[in-house]
Chain A
């Protein structure tokens, strides 16, 4: 929180930042309270961040967004103001972000989360993750679990609710990321119709969630990697990743724990245990194998808890 003198009144400038994400480790439908709900487990991506600054104004009502095309973030800030119910009446929202849009990095959700946080910060409050989630979904129809940062949760992205805490933080992971579409233009996440899963697929999500719970609880990167690979395979019928067979071959050849894909975007990642003694050799190998496949643009990051 920063204070800035302005005339005689003291106005408080609010700031907040949110990381992006790298798609999902697991996505599907899950039974909860006797009904099926669409939900996912997000892989955070600290390579990318969105920063929001909210300058309250005594004279205006409503939010002015410096980049007018950031309508979702503007809507989220308006909703946050309304939820707070005073004393702030309006202000100016500025956002700076290095997250590429439309690729599955969660650029709009990161903007939305940062905007909500900045408005609350200006009012001297900090929202709970559940408040973040409710506002984010209200602002943009569906949301990722970015507000939960490194807590491993099964998140109903269309309802903005945590279905389940998986039993601990997501263990640290090393990721070699890359784009899977030829032109790297990505996908309009919300324009995609929700996947229609078969009865067998719906049942198949149960054991994958069971395996994910165990992986998180015991810090088992290998098992979590298997869950990610299985989820990528199941997603193939709904949003095919070009060359998946080749990518799975590379996953095995370089000894990655698994292959993770954005289930509604075009980023994918090879997951590794960051404590591997020969990690650098393996990730180098992975990037070479990807380049052989024509995927020259790859990146590396680690998550931490």
Chain B
């Protein structure tokens, strides 16, 4: 066998791991498996800010995040020498907090949720205060910075070159950057490409009333401006039981050790690929499983929450109103509508009135990206 041509060494771990590995799991199902997806928008946003002259060597980077975007930013800022302050909430786990500290980031925790918008809003309020504390600052703002979706052109290029035409893209929706950004680029040559957004309930992103969630990294208490609702053909709300089962299967069957957002994405993509054998499906898997060793990957943790052997749906319920999607796995034909139009369509439909959202199974953390 001919030995492959070895590429040159990368300049940093960011350069080496910023793009996903494209892995075929079936004849019409490919996954884009990221080590840490948020490295991509973190790097791109800082690149663009540098080009615009918004970052000097002593500029402090301020951002609110309790998840992987904080880690992506901390890695890029450490390598480029920018001081970083992260505003998080109690959902930030101790291991991540230690990693951020090791990378030189200052982490502030909001201990009280805001009456409106919960911890997400409390973090945004604290960020506003910090702008005055650090006059020389730059806020990447992943939820409303258009450079977040723009960052995904690099992934669209990789997919277009490696896979060619894609009929359906599936991915979890947090900030709206990865799914909305990639779809906009892939639709240039392929305008009919279907985009399926994966959320969980209760989550505000696609029109539900916010509430506590079990699965971390999925769902949001606010609607990020970067979520372009009219980009989605279909939305799925996945339940915790299906998500953890799919995450474990992804590992046990395909040896892909990924986090629960990846499991949710895989669950929906596999369902769609099986029902549409002629459609080439690509699913985003945003991060690896190491952060979840003591939760999703530990049987005791699952058993305590009734998620180990409890019932898990194998197909989604189809709903026409986001309010009806609370609980287990449900899907809705979104049909590239705005949030208002989709909700108006739901309200105009004869049938059950949307019910108030009950809290799901007992909950220990409120997870947000």
Contacts and interface: CB of A to CB of B under 8 A. Distances in A.
Interface string A206-225: 11111101100010101100
Contacts of A230: 188-189
B156 interface: yes
Contacts of B188: 204, 207-208, 230, 233-234
A223 B189 contact: yes
Given A207-B160, A207-B188, A207-B189, A226 B150 contact: no
Given A210-B158, A214-B160, A204 B153 contact: yes
Nearest to B51: A199
B161 A203 contact: no
A227 interface: yes
B165 A226 contact: yes
B164 A229 contact: no
Point out which of A200, A203, A213, A233 has the most chain B C-beta atoms below 10 A from its C-beta. A203
A225 B146 CA distance: 29
A256 to B, nearest CB: 14
A220 B163 CA distance: 12
**What does DSSP make chain B's interface, helix, strand, loop or mixed?**
helix
A214 B186 CA distance: 14
Nearest to B186: A207
B74 to A, nearest CB: 24
Contacts of A223: 164-165, 189
B48 A210 contact: no
Nearest to A224: B189
Contacts of A214: 160-162, 164
A226 B191 CA distance: 10
Interface in B108-125: none
B150 A211 contact: no
Point out which of A208, A211, A214, A222 has the most chain B C-beta atoms below 10 A from its C-beta. A211
B34 interface: no
Nearest to B163: A214
B153 A207 contact: yes
A211 B48 contact: no
B191 to A, nearest CB: 9
Contacts of A222: 165
A199 B48 contact: yes
B157 interface: yes
A222 to B, nearest CB: 8
**Contact-size category for A:** 20 to 34
Interface string B218-237: 00000000000000000000
B318 interface: no
B161 A210 contact: yes
Nearest to B152: A203
B150 A203 contact: yes
A209 B156 CA distance: 10
B49 interface: no
B279 to A, nearest CB: 16
Contacts of B48: 199
A211 B185 CA distance: 11
A226 B165 CA distance: 9
Contacts of B190: 226
Interface in B130-184: 146-147, 150, 153-154, 156-162, 164-165, 184
B189 A206 contact: no
Given A209-B157, A211-B160, A214-B162, A204 B185 contact: yes
A200 B150 contact: yes
Nearest to B48: A199
A244 B189 CA distance: 16
A203 B164 contact: no
Contact of B164 (A200, A206, A208, A220): A220
Contacts of A208: 160, 188-189
A229 B153 contact: no
Interface in A162-214: 199-200, 203-204, 206-211, 213-214
Contact of A211 (B146, B153, B164): B164
B157 to A, nearest CB: 4
Contacts of B165: 222-223, 226
A206 B162 contact: no
B164 A207 contact: no
Nearest to A248: B191
A206 B154 CA distance: 7
A199 B45 CA distance: 12
B161 A213 contact: yes
A28 to B, nearest CB: 11
Nearest to B162: A214
Contacts of B159: 207, 210
A229 B192 CA distance: 14
B153 A203 contact: yes
A210 B157 contact: yes
Contacts of B185: 203-204, 206-207
Contacts of B157: 206-207, 209-210
A234 B184 CA distance: 13
A206 B156 contact: yes
Contacts of A206: 153-154, 156-157, 185
Contacts of B156: 206-207, 210
Nearest to A226: B189
A252 B186 CA distance: 19
A210 to B, nearest CB: 4
A210 B158 CA distance: 7
Interface in B37-89: 48
A209 B153 CA distance: 11
B145 to A, nearest CB: 11
14 contacts: A200-B146, A200-B150, A203-B185, A204-B188, A207-B157, A207-B185, A210-B157, A210-B160, A210-B161, A211-B189, A213-B161, A223-B164, A223-B165, A230-B188
The 5 closest A-B pairs by CB, nearest first: A203-B153, A210-B161, A210-B157, A207-B156, A226-B189
Interface of A: 199-200, 203-204, 206-211, 213-214, 218, 220, 222-223, 226-227, 229-230, 233-234
Given A211-B160, A211-B164, A213-B161, 5 more contacts: A200-B150, A204-B185, A206-B157, A214-B161, A234-B188
